[in-house]
Structure 1
């Protein structure tokens, strides 16, 4: 079979590589609001660069996220690439959730998302055939256009996260909102005065990653402060953040980019 699954002889190596991608993609499906309009990222987002499918450097066993535009909740599911024949078809495993096969049907229009090296990619295709033997897999139309965003080391994404902020030396904590976040810092909006440039504060906030709630606590330095409307805005840089918590934040940012490509700051 000429398809040869584009590198099946390298499958063992690609499966081990896919395990290293676990930090960037969910094991369970995630749900995002319909207002996200994610499909725009795969069909003309002005922020995304055009790429060839081969630029993604996918190999058999690599993990992808997929969801159907005609599914009411547009829940994202995890599948794995089986192989592809350039210009003809892309083969992926049929997603499952809690042991049950997800109902994808022929002619479903789907968005597929991938994370590779330092970029997040998305493309649109259709389900051409749903197969059951020798395992559950699907033939997708070969993507005509792939769009991607480069993820910089300190890439920031827009999100709304409640945080407690207090002066490093003394003072009661106040509730503020993180408006954008990276693995190295954040933009915080607060009605209260949190301090001046160069002063230190303590942050404590919760995030959800892979359906697990995690508490992040960090010392931070105010890099800039400005008044905008009826609120104060502070750009802060995390200091002394443990490596494991920094990795959690980086994973959160990667995952958010995959799910919300238009949230890049």
Structure 2
């Protein structure tokens, strides 16, 4: 089983019919499809591996002696990717601090999301938070409305379910939430990838080329996405621009990259490009980190 976070799509240029593979090939779940040292017998087998295969980034296997070849293209067995391992604890087992940012999402309305600050809690009774504000106006919260509350501290993400008990307006607006029965937590890896669907603009120089891309995953180190046409070669550098929403605020990122992988999509409607970010400014790193953590935290 390979480390999923290190896998990149297989490039046809790295392999050839009749040649010994010098890199092990995996499916998208990290399962071995073809070990290094195996001869690729046919064009059909190569095409199948290109469509379904991944290799480990910047990792070359030691050349091995040829092994019995595989006569048919390997098939991908669809299995769900396991989410981060959850741990259940009590509210007072977590080290909360006053002013901590909490993300509230209405249980029956996924579009209703608010950012509030933790004021404190009374064990077994209530959690007190600031009243949610959008565009400078306080949002009316109905009593008994149910919310999922999320937060993250460093590499840990937390989530718990509460109901609104009472909105208080004087002397300052704040909200009483029910005390949660349990808190779910999980550890988010630093190199974890957030599954996304973001429209981006990709540009290259010498000669000038631009294209729209649909990003499918995003991490601190890079991204991958679908572009309808073959616009660049591996190792070419360029710039990618896209918008992300962090804690209710929209941020525009424009990042330099190098193309690390190119592979035709299974549907034949474009190419999946793997981009590695280069020289990311400190401010953009903060925005990117917050977005990735926020997105993965929503899986808890």
Considering the TM-score relative to the shorter chain, is it more than 0.5? yes
Q: Find 1:111's aligned residue among 137, 148, 156.
A: 148
Q: Is 1:203 aligned to residue 239 of structure 2?
A: yes
Q: Is the 8 A contact 2:166 2:177 kept in 1?
A: yes
Instruction: For 1:134 and 1:213, locate their aligned partners in 2 and report how far apart those are by CA, in whole Å.
Output: 34
Instruction: For 1:150 and 1:244, locate their aligned partners in 2 and report how far apart those are by CA, in whole Å.
Output: 24
Q: Find 1:87's aligned residue among 110, 124, 130.
A: 124
Q: Is the 8 A contact 2:258 2:277 kept in 1?
A: yes
Q: Find 2:265's aligned residue among 215, 228, 233.
A: 228
Q: Is the 8 A contact 2:131 2:175 kept in 1?
A: yes
Q: Is 1:257 aligned to residue 299 of structure 2?
A: no
Q: Indicate how the Cα distance of structure 1 residues 201 and 115 shifts in structure 2: closer, same or farther if over 3 A, else same.
A: same
Give the structure 1 partner of residue 173 of structure 2. 136
- State the Cα deviation string for residues 225-254 of structure 1 (Å, max 9, x = none): 332321322222112222222222222223
Q: Find 1:65's aligned residue among 90, 103, 106.
A: 103
Count of residues in correspondence between the two structures: 214
Q: Is 1:218 aligned to residue 256 of structure 2?
A: yes
- Residue 66 of structure 1, CA deviation: 1.7
Q: Is the 8 A contact 1:166 1:194 kept in 2?
A: no
Q: Is 1:237 aligned to residue 276 of structure 2?
A: yes
Which structure has more relative contact order (CA 8 Å, sep 6+)? It is: 1
Q: Is the 8 A contact 1:56 1:116 kept in 2?
A: no
Give the structure 2 partner of residue 14 of structure 1. none
Query: Once structures 1 and 2 are overlaid, which stretch shifts more, 224-233 or 102-111?
Result: 224-233
Instruction: For 2:213 and 2:133, locate their aligned partners in 1 and report how far apart those are by CA, in whole Å.
Output: 39
Instruction: For 1:238 and 1:185, locate their aligned partners in 2 and report how far apart those are by CA, in whole Å.
Output: 5
Instruction: For 2:156 and 2:217, locate their aligned partners in 1 and report how far apart those are by CA, in whole Å.
Output: 19
Q: Indicate how the Cα distance of structure 1 residues 120 and 194 shifts in structure 2: closer, same or farther if over 3 A, else same.
A: farther
- Residue 153 of structure 1, CA deviation: 1.8
Question: Normalized against structure 2, the TM-score is what?
Answer: 0.62
Q: What is the 5 A alignment of 1:157-176?
A: 157-167=194-204, 169-176=206-213
Higher helix share: 1
Q: Is the 8 A contact 2:255 2:277 kept in 1?
A: no
Give the structure 2 partner of residue 38 of structure 1. none
Q: Indicate how the Cα distance of structure 1 residues 129 and 215 shifts in structure 2: closer, same or farther if over 3 A, else same.
A: closer
- Residue 167 of structure 1, CA deviation: 4.9
Question: Normalized against structure 1, the TM-score is what?
Answer: 0.69
Q: Say what the alpha-carbon RMSD is for the aligned residues.
A: 2.7
Give the structure 1 partner of residue 87 of structure 2. 50
